[in-house]
Structure 1
């Protein structure tokens, strides 16, 4: 990659990161992730970085970023400056996308989510199964990969909305060995299964990158050695390991921690104000109370 990694005075020093999206306020689930990263960094003599994953420019705001900083400071966390903002590093993601394009792995995809679901429903109505990713979303139809390139470019030139997807079959054919990652404090080897995700989106018409692409580029450029994040991203690690392999990027050590669930057993959402750290602080809770709620 052309962009230089942030300086590290000792390449043996563990580097952790907390990487929220400033499109809402932090809740208890974020607090757990931030505190775990801070504790692991302290225990290993490592560094803690803060990254703003603000690639969704339409929803992310400076006000939310400031509230994140305020909440983390209130919890007692400190981090290195400057904070990396994805919106300031679009060229790095474009460079990675260009490399994948040069390998013949990227194609324009024009179907909307509704149209993809319609294909899956028609298949089900005929008694055929349709593959779904670990989050339950139907895969993009593989026959759409074969769209005539000239026709696709004409549609793009007319301003038709589209995304850029990874041809998973071609990508997997380039692998020289099965993918895996090291997980948790017991260093378990986990076999990666990127095929379970189908042709993932790496660029959208309404955003300059995707989470999958930007996160692996950021982790590499920042020299992240340990990724500590929620269990909801466990399966996504398969896609990240594939992209790291294709882009010749290092693989961090991963730990996917437990999730904080609401009363209905669902993962907390930023839209649920009752679990927001600012709301809890206004109710008189202390940072120690937050740790108690999180069983830390």
Structure 2
């Protein structure tokens, strides 16, 4: 690489310390408004930058990559998921893609556990009663939820987040079951006292709570479709802190309304920010605005990984968090 500072465009606001370090190291353009960049603005950024730092709100597809300048050589994604980036086309055009894995697992697992508790113990409903001022005092039958100790938790995707959730679930006395593309090493299964199911259909029909922790890929789109959702027990709960596209949201909404599934806790939605309006009206649903990794610690660590990926590339070496098409 040439000795002059790299030109870097960052598409959203990042933690102040990360932005300050960006200014020190690179010729950086920051997004002071934090508003998502339009497609036209992204295309312009890709025509003038050596490095683009996008987030999951930026869809970097074949059409945008075709407009990129010859000097664009790295897309240093701020986030672990890269399903919004056409990695294969980027690599074919000589553009490397990096991400920020491994720093969100504990925070996302915390949120998954929080959603499990919120739905099964009806916490938002209790909060609404208190905020409305309508509470008439304690009653033996008011707002009865369910005990999670002894319940079977099914984890769909036993990667870093899934294993972090398994550790929490065991502390709450839950049974841990999982379905994965590949079975984990016996030592890891023993560590989490986890039972592997080769058949996802068989697992979802037997568990009490299902947590979605797998990425969105062509093979996981609507993995929880109407047929598979109907296999779940009527008193079962589903939680998703991964990617909304994994669940057929319309089918889930219908089943929640008719009582075929007892409840849901969703931090992500099939159509981005467009959550099904019928979901918002259901008392047995807890909806959050993609808060799973929203901690100050996680956001700073993500930024530090981006900085390391860019600086390593600037020094003429392979970014440590390089994404290759076979990983997607």
What TM-score comes out, normalization by structure 2 length?
Answer: 0.27
Q: Which has the higher contact order (CA 8 A, sep 6+)?
A: 1
What TM-score comes out, normalization by structure 1 length?
Answer: 0.29
Decide which structure has the larger Cα Rg and report it: 2
